[in-house]
Every structure is written in C-alpha cells, then in structure tokens.
C-alpha cells in the first residue's frame, strides 16, 4: 500500500531544475516500509508531439522551475494514489491520466506524472526485494542491450558547426556489455587524442561526446572510424563496431513542409534530396542506424525512405513516434521506419511506455531505450532496457556522471 508520496525540485545535468518523487509503500503482512525515488529527465531537441513538461515560467531559474509540477504531485496526485496497491501499475497510471484529463498531460505535467509512475514501480520492486529489471520483466528479463555511445555531439547539443546531432559507436561484436563498454571507452580516448593532435577542441557536449568544429558530417565519421582503428578494433558490417547517427531532422525545418534547412551549414534540401543524401551516406559508411533522418511530420518521406533503404539500415523514429502508441501505430500501418526510440518522459507513464514497446515488438520494430540530453543520476532506464527487452540502449558517451551511471548500472545487472 502506498503510504507517502513526496516530490521536490532538484537539478539536472544542464543545471536546470527537474522533479524527483519519493514513494513509500508499506507491506501489510510485515509492516515493512520501502521507499524509492525517480527523477524526470528533460530534452533539448524535444519533439513537437511529446507530452507536456510543466515549467513555471517567470523569473525563478529563468522560467524553468518545476514548483507547480512538484505541487501537483504533493497534493492532487498524492491524494489520488495514497492507500492504493502499488503492484497495480496500470491502475495507478490510469488514475493519473484520468486526474490529468488532457490529451497531452498538460494539466499535471508529464514530468510530474512520470516521476510518480517510475517511483511506484521502483518502490514495488523494493518491497518485493527484487531488482527493478526483474520486477518489470519477470523471467523474460534475460538479455542486455547493445550500447550506442554518442561520442561526438552536434546539432542542438553543442555549439559547433555540425548539423547531425549525434555520432554513435556500437560495439556489436562484443560478447558482453562490460566488454562493449570497455571497447567504447577505449575508442573515446583515441578520438580525444586524434582531436588534440589536430588542435581541435576536446570540450564535451551535453551528452558527453566531443564537440569539435570540423568541416562536415563525413569528416566526423571518418575521424570516428580512425579512432576505432587506432584503438585496435575493426569497423563495418559483421565487424566489431558499426556507426549510428541521430540526425534529429525535426530541428531542420524549412519554410514549408517537405523543405529542410540545416541551421549550422546553411544547406537546404527537399525531402527527396535528403533521401538521396542518406542513400549515399549508407553506401559510403558502415551505418547501422539513422534516427530521425526526416522531420516528425514528413510521414510520406519516411515511407519512401523506408521503402528504399529499410532493408539495409535501421531507421529510428524518435520525434516521429515520441514513444506514443498512437503515432507508432500510424507509422506501422504506413511503413515508416523499422525501429522506435523509447523515452519514457515523452509519453509520461510506465504503462504507456510498455505498450509502445509491446506494439513495436509485435510488428518487428527494434526498440532502443534512451536517455534525454538533460539527465540526472537516476538509472531507471538501465533496468527498463533489460526488463523490457530493448535491443539497444543509448545513454551518451562514456563520460559525465549522469551518463556513466546508466552504463555502470548495466555492468552490475550483467554481473547479477
Ligand atoms: P533530446 O535529444 O533529449 O535533447 O531530445 C535526444 C535525442 O534526440 O535522441
Ligand atoms: Zn533523437
């Protein structure tokens, strides 16, 4: 039984406030109390169709305060959930949705709702003396995802001149995540040396990847491939490493639908030109996946791109699907993409996150558990990635505590 719910305002990795909630449950038979907490992360390149993150506005914290969201948890949500059975996650989530009453969770705030939803699951697991991944995944929680490490940052996550937001490495040939994490960290350090030798900046972006000013996307990939080789690994299809990109092309909106403007390079493309560009990139480099290669509203472009290259590359919908079963369903019926990025805070409850994953799996879409560019030390997504059987997890570079916290949690889960 839930006996206490308490939220507070804390800081995220960008120094902005975010909400964390503590849930206490009491086991009736023993009188034992268990408390767990969860925090909401926050994006920078947020999709237009994400659930609403409630921010206070005004002067405090430059308008980013979350006191209203905190208040909503401590009053309205606490009143509705205290006394309820914490093991009935779907019921708890449904109660919050009903209380919110809006389509986009703008009344209570998706940040408020998510922190409660996740803290309830964690408190339930704790009461049952189980790790979270076992609680959400049961006997099926037996695989560890492949990490996708974002070691070079561009787009909205850095001030450099690259329009593609993320350049990631995947240690697909590693036998375990512990091994894969080591490989990635070694490549990361070789990349740092390469950048230093060329007199380029080794300061890092929001997700811990380097953010140097380099000529273009092609040169970024070449540098990464060189770092992989220098670290003693092979790169290519069927080799030890592959490369993934997150274009975050919803940030490339032009003047009209079907037009793209890349804000840093100043390049312009039509949907068809961008499709040709991606076809070339896929031919030229060992690319495992491209996330948001096209805009969140360019459903027809997504369909055409998937028809053309969907058998060669994984096309990941992040802003396109926003972890929303309704949008994913539309994409599945149209044939848009073949993978979905899973960000629990895009949709706001654990139950809806699980529904999106269930739907994706049923239709053969790969699932990628994901952090946000604004994170906390909370490691819930590491457990969810194992518990919900994600194929991959992206949680930044092997650098910055809020990123390594998740990788380190996966090392511990693997050992257990
Ligand atoms: P965000 O970026 O958290 O800033 O939205 C992550 C992503 O686009 O995958
Ligand atoms: Zn993305």
Helices (H), 260-311: 271-284, 299-309
Q: Is the CB of 296 under 6 A from ligand 1?
A: no
Specify the pLDDT at position 280. Answer: 98
Looking at 50, 207, 352, 402, which residue is catalytic? Answer: 207
- Residue 118's alpha-carbon distances to 76, 298, 370, 380, in angstroms, are 17, 32, 15, 8
Q: What is the pLDDT of residues 294-347, one digit of tens each?
A: 999 999 999 999 999 999 999 999 999 999 999 999 999 999 999 999 999 999
For residue 354, what pLDDT is reported? 98
Q: pLDDT value at position 103?
A: 96
Query: How far is it, in rounded angstroms, from Cα 9 to Cα 264?
Result: 34
Token code pair at residue 234:
């092979």
What pLDDT digit, counting tens, does each position of 56-72 carry?
999 999 999 999 999 99
Percent over 70 (pLDDT), the chain: 100
Query: Quick one: residue 330, left, alpha or beta (phi over 0 = left, psi -120 to 50 = alpha)?
Result: alpha
User: 353 in ligand 1 pocket by Cβ < 6 Å?
Assistant: no
The CA-based dihedral angle spanning residues 364, 368, 372, 378, taken in that order and rounded to the nearest 10 degrees: 120
Q: Which atom of ligand 1 is nearest to the CA of 291?
A: 9
Tell me if 372 CB under 6 Å of ligand 1: yes
Q: What is the per-residue pLDDT for 157?
A: 85
Strand partners, 242: 170
User: How many Å apart are CA 18 and CA 13, to the nearest integer?
Assistant: 10
Buried b (16+ CB within 10 A) or exposed e, 7-33: bbbbebbeebbbbbbbbbbeeeeeeee
pLDDT attached to residue 158: 86
Residue 373 in contact with ligand 1 by CB distance below 6 A: yes
Residue 239 is a catalytic residue = no
Interatomic CA distance for residues 151 and 166, integer angstroms: 8
Give the mean model confidence (pLDDT) for residues 16-23.
Answer: 98
Q: How much is the average pLDDT of 179-208?
A: 97
Give the pLDDT confidence score for residue 309 in this predicted structure. Answer: 98
pLDDT at 159: 87
Q: For 334-386, what is each residue's pLDDT tens digit? A: 999 999 999 999 999 999 999 999 999 999 999 999 999 999 999 999 999 99
209 falls in which pLDDT band (50, 70, 90)?
Answer: very high
pLDDT band, very low/low/confident/very high, at 213 (cuts 50, 70, 90): very high
> pLDDT by residue (tens digit) across 131-164?
999 999 999 999 999 999 999 999 988 889 999 9
Q: In this predicted model, what pLDDT tens digit does every residue of 236-278 receive, in sequence order?
A: 999 999 999 999 999 999 999 999 999 999 999 999 999 999 9
CA dist 371 and 368 (Å) reads: 10
* Residue of 402, 405, 407 lying closest to 42 (CA atoms): 402
Best residue for ligand 1 mutational test, from 249, 318, 339 (most atoms within 8 Å of Cβ): 318
* pLDDT tier, 3 (very low <50, low <70, confident <90, very high otherwise): very high
Whether the CB-CB separation of 234 and 243 falls below 8 Å is answered with no
Q: What is the percentage of the chain residues whose pLDDT exceeds 90?
A: 98
Enumerate residues with CB within 5 Å of ligand 2 (an ion).
246, 291, 318
Relative to the CA of 341, which ligand 1 atom is closest? 9
Phi, psi for residue 260 in degrees, rounded to 5: -120, 140
Question: Whose CA is closest to atom 1 on ligand 1?
Answer: 43
Q: Are 371 and 377 in contact (CB under 8 A)?
A: no
């Amino acid at each position: 039984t839930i006996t206490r719910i308490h939220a507070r305002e804390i800081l995220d990795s960008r120094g902005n406030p975010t909400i964390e909630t503590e849930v206490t449950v009491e086991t009736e038979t023993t009188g034992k109390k268990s408390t767990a907490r969860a925090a909401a992360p926050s994006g920078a390149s947020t999709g237009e169709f994400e659930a609403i993150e409630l921010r206070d506005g005004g002067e405090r914290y430059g308008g980013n305060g979350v006191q209203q969201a905190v208040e909503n948890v401590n009053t309205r949500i606490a009143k509705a959930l205290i006394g309820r059975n914490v093991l009935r996650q779907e019921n708890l989530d449904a109660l919050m949705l009903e209380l919110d009453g809006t389509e986009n969770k703008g009344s209570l705030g998706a940040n408020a709702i998510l922190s409660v939803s996740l803290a309830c699951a964690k408190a339930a697991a704790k009461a049952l003396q189980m790790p979270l991944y076992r609680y959400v995944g049961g006997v099926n929680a037996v695989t560890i995802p492949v990490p996708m490490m974002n070691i070079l940052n561009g787009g909205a996550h850095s001030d450099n001149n690259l329009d593609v937001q993320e350049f990631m490495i995947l240690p697909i040939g590693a036998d375990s995540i512990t091994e894969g994490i080591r490989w990635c960290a070694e490549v990361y350090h070789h990349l740092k040396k390469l950048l230093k030798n060329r007199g380029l900046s080794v300061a890092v972006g929001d997700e811990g990847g380097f953010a140097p000013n380099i000529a273009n996307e092609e040169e970024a990939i070449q540098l990464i491939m060189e770092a992989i080789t220098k670290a003693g690994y092979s790169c290519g299809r069927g080799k030890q490493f592959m490369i993934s990109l997150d274009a975050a092309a919803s940030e490339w909106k032009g003047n009209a639908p079907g037009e793209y403007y890349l804000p840093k390079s100043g390049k312009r493309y039509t949907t068809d030109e961008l499709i040709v560009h991606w076809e070339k990139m896929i031919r030229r480099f060992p690319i495992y996946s491209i996330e948001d290669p096209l805009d969140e509203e360019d459903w027809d472009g997504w369909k055409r791109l998937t028809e053309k290259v969907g058998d060669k590359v994984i096309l990941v919908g992040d802003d396109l699907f926003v972890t929303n079963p309704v949008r994913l369903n539309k994409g599945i019926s149209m044939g848009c993409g073949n993978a979905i990025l899973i960000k629990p805070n895009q949709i706001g409850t654990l139950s809806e996150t699980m529904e999106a994953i269930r739907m994706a799996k049923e239709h053969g879409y790969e699932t990628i558990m994901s952090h946000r560019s604004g994170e906390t030390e909370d490691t819930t997504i590491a457990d969810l990635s194992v518990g919900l059987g994600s194929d991959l997890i992206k949680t930044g570079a092997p650098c910055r505590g809020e990123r390594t916290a998740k990788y380190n949690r996966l090392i511990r889960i693997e050992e257990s």
